[in-house]
Amino acid sequence: MKISVRQIWQVALVLVSAAALAAANSTNMPPPGTLNYVEGQVFVQGQQQTPRSVGSTYLEPHQQIVTRQGYAEMLLTPGVYMRLGHNSAVTMISPGLANTQVQLTRGAAILEVDELFKQNNVSVVVDNSRTEIDKTGLYEFHALPASVGVLDGKATFSDDDQRINLKKGHEVLFAAAQAPVRQKFNKSEVENDPLYRWSMLRGEYATEANVNEGEMLMAGGGWWGPGWYWDPYWWSFAFMPGWGLGWGPFGYPFFSPWYVGLAPYYGFYGYAPGVAGHYRYAARRLSNNALPALAHKPTADSPGFRTFSHSQMAMAGTHDGSFRGMSGGNFGGMRGGFAGGFHGGGFGGRR
């Protein structure tokens, strides 16, 4: 019987996942509610947070994160980022990996869902109404007036006995003593919102951290499977998928360590054809900083990402201007070329 290269890699991934489970007691994965980035005035339980709080501060049940003139990024389950805008507040209800629930009590938040495992149950409460995330994608929440919008993906809105299925391009408006109203939203208004633009920028940085950490894991070891991994150069956690590569809702890719060699070259001057497997960017190196208290624990399984052969990657070379000039494993790209707005993700193995 002929065995394909992909089958060999899949068997290797199963073995790595088994090793990850065996190593679970000796490693730390950041729990849902871990602070991953702060900008401006951000407080957790009344204590102001700084960039040094990243990676070691997390919300326990009933604790709250508040922004004033600032932004914050918080990790939920592996592959899920929650980002808060100015004058916003979120309370952690349940920080479990199998049941993750937060409540937006003030302001606005965006949820970027790059990976959603079958065992995950991620939901957001606004004004006593619950929204369960059903697929990878991009979601926005507002506390006043209360609303939930699906920029990309699928969600289920629940209010008392009423359930509303929300798909891409739709939102639901709701308030006390009023029936929820489902309608289409204005895409251009969303894309001009400051929180959306900031989240898109953070999405790009998340990909750069993913590539940087993936290269370090391939060079130095330490990869135990899909999950969050600490990147000391970006001073944040990077999401590492278990297999292949996939596209986030902003149009930026994520690579497993096995596929990080497909990442295009990003130079200070932009396009650099014919160079494969390396990101280069202007980032202050923090090599003397110790890791925070939380780091490196895998998830229990990996549904897998969409995988591409070299020829398929070449066929995908027009994806939002990225992966241009590929030939025989040599790949080029242009900084910012991945960004194309919310467009439908592209991760395999998702719900």
Is the pTM above the cut of 0.75?
A: no
Say what percent of the chain tops pLDDT 70: 67
For 82-86, what is the mean pLDDT? 98
Bigger pLDDT: 315 vs 186: 186
Is the CB of residue 180 less than 8 Å from the CB of residue 172? yes
For 252-266, what is the mean pLDDT? 80
97 backbone φψ class: left, alpha, beta (φ>0; ψ -120 to 50): alpha
CB burial of 140-168 (b: ≥16 within 10 Å; e: otherwise) equals bbbbeebbbbbbbbbbebebeeeebebeb
Residues 6+ apart with CB under 8 A from 114: 79, 80, 81, 136, 206, 239, 246, 248, 249, 254, 345, 347
Structure confidence at residue 342 as a pLDDT band (50, 70, 90) = very low
- Structural domain includes residue 8: no
**What is the span of the domain harbouring residue 161?**
34-194
Which residues pair with residue 94 across a beta bridge?
Answer: 101
Is the CB of residue 123 less than 8 Å from the CB of residue 338? no
At 309 the pLDDT is: 32
- Structural domain includes residue 129: yes
Structure confidence at residue 10 as a pLDDT band (50, 70, 90) = low
At 24 the pLDDT is: 33
At 51 the pLDDT is: 93
- Structural domain includes residue 80: yes
The yes-or-no verdict on residue 13 having pLDDT over 60 is: no
Give the Å distances, CA to CA, from 74 to 127, 139, 187, 311, 333: 21, 15, 25, 37, 29
Rounded Cα–Cα distance for residues 75 and 79 (Å): 8
Q: What is the CATH number of the domain that holds 100?
A: 2.60.120.1440
| 118-134 tens-digit pLDDT | 899 999 999 999 999 99
- Structural domain includes residue 181: yes
- Structural domain includes residue 173: yes
Structure confidence at residue 264 as a pLDDT band (50, 70, 90) = low
- 105-119, 121-135, 200-214, 238-252: segment of lowest average pLDDT: 238-252
For 37-47, what is the mean pLDDT? 97
Bigger pLDDT: 315 vs 258: 258
At 12 the pLDDT is: 53
Structure confidence at residue 147 as a pLDDT band (50, 70, 90) = very high
| 161-175 tens-digit pLDDT | 899 999 999 999 998
- 81-85, 149-153, 194-198, 306-310: segment of lowest average pLDDT: 306-310
At 3 the pLDDT is: 64
Residues 6+ apart with CB under 8 A from 61: 92, 93, 94, 95
- Structural domain includes residue 21: no
- Structural domain includes residue 266: no
- Structural domain includes residue 118: yes
- Give the tokens for residue 40: 């401006």
Domain count, the chain: 1
Mean pLDDT of all residues in the chain? 75
